[in-house]
Amino acid sequence: MSALPAKLPVLFDHDGGVDDFLSLLLLLTMPQVELLGVSITPADCYAEPALETTTKLLHLLGQPKVPVSVGQYHGVNAFPSAWRAQPRMLNALPHLLTLPPEADQPHPDPRPSPVVLAAQLAAATQPVTVLLTGPCSTLVQALALAPELASRIGQVVWMGGAIDVPGNVRTYNQNGSAEWNVFWDPIAAAQLLTYGLPLVLIPLDVTNQVPVNLAFLRQLAQQASHPLSHLAGQFWATTVATIPTYEYTYFMWDVLATTYLAIPEAFEVETLELAIIPTGASAGRTLRQPGSGQWVRVAKHVDTAAFYAYLLQQFGPVGSPLMAV
């Protein structure tokens, strides 16, 4: 009898937005993934409700023992407070209100998340994939504590950056060239590129191809008899008015990055030399920089049909049986 393939060990750092939690749900449906730990960067969230939602989703998908930690660093450029508060409504959704009492009692690791992440990398018995759907500060701080742990990382998949498209930051102190996950801590982002890690960047160039649209939500609603489809549909419904200005659209930023772990063949990836500007009016800008020596694999296109089909599969017949209802 042939041995079962080894699972992909994953450490997941997120920053508490709606799409971060959808990414967590998606990760928990992937049979090929072993989730070693979750850390929360308090960037596009307030830490307390983000911890509550994370704990509840782990209980809901039958993995309450996955370690959770919370960062204490608050970045350079804060996300708008209205965005950070928006995910609070998730904890009021029926599925998350009717969980057993223990799901309402988070018990995170008391150490700051960079310390926990460093310890988890040190304990790993095989190369670990680090999935980042928020800023990269926790990983950079962990490697500052123990630079030799870079050798324990098999790959870093980061939703961040805007290379050949405009950024999505609209503030008085940025010229529109940056993406928010990079802009929150552009100094750490610039540092990340210097480590020579096997980094896969999922920038706005490719996430712009997968908006949250009603056509997809209708398809998801048609399979609402699957509990996870119903829950995911409720999560995405909260995004329709999350960013109520004409210059913004809610995209599947983090969910797309998470999907890369399962269907990398759906992505067209290019290897580029990049740099990130750490300060000034262009702080957070991610640009091509020939001669920098900072080579990064960058997703440029995705097979959107394959992507949406994968989501419908995982949030339907594959993932829903895992969900406690």
Indicate which CATH number applies to the domain containing 116: 3.90.245.10
- The verdict on residue 249 lying in a domain is yes
Region of poorest pLDDT, from 91-100, 147-156, 162-171, 244-253? 244-253
CA 193 to chain centre: 18
- The verdict on residue 1 lying in a domain is no
Amino acid at 233: G
pLDDT, tens only, 109-123: 999 999 999 999 999
- How far is residue 68's CA from residue 56's CA, in Å, rounded to a whole number? 12
Q: Is the pLDDT of residue 4 over 70?
A: no
- The verdict on residue 12 lying in a domain is yes
For residue 13, the surrounding DSSP H or E stretch is strand 8-14
- Residue 1: what pLDDT? 47
Q: Total domain count for the chain?
A: 1
- Residue 134: what pLDDT? 97
Adjacent-strand bridge partners of 157: 131, 200
What mean pLDDT do residues 28-40 have?
97
pLDDT band at 242 (very low <50, low <70, confident <90, very high): low
- The verdict on residue 2 lying in a domain is no
Asked whether 83 and 17 are in contact (CB, 8 A), the reply is yes
The pairing of strands 128-132 and 8-14 is parallel
- The verdict on residue 204 lying in a domain is yes
- The verdict on residue 73 lying in a domain is yes
- Residue 241: what pLDDT? 67
Q: Is the pLDDT of residue 107 over 90?
A: no
Domain enclosing residue 106, as ranges: 8-320
pLDDT band at 60 (very low <50, low <70, confident <90, very high): very high
**Nearest partner of 199 among 75, 292, 73, 299, judged by Cα:** 299
Burial 278-305 (b: 16+ CB within 10 A, else e): beeebbbbbbeeeebebebbbbbebebe
pLDDT band at 12 (very low <50, low <70, confident <90, very high): very high
* Global confidence as pTM: 0.95
- Residue 298: what pLDDT? 98
What mean pLDDT do residues 22-51 have?
96
Asked whether 193 and 276 are in contact (CB, 8 A), the reply is yes
Q: Is the pLDDT of residue 270 over 50?
A: yes
- The verdict on residue 162 lying in a domain is yes
Phi and psi at 307, nearest 5°, equal: -65, -55
What mean pLDDT do residues 60-84 have?
92
- Residue 5: what pLDDT? 62
- Residue 99: what pLDDT? 83
pLDDT, tens only, 278-288: 999 999 999 99
- Residue 117: what pLDDT? 98
- The verdict on residue 135 lying in a domain is yes
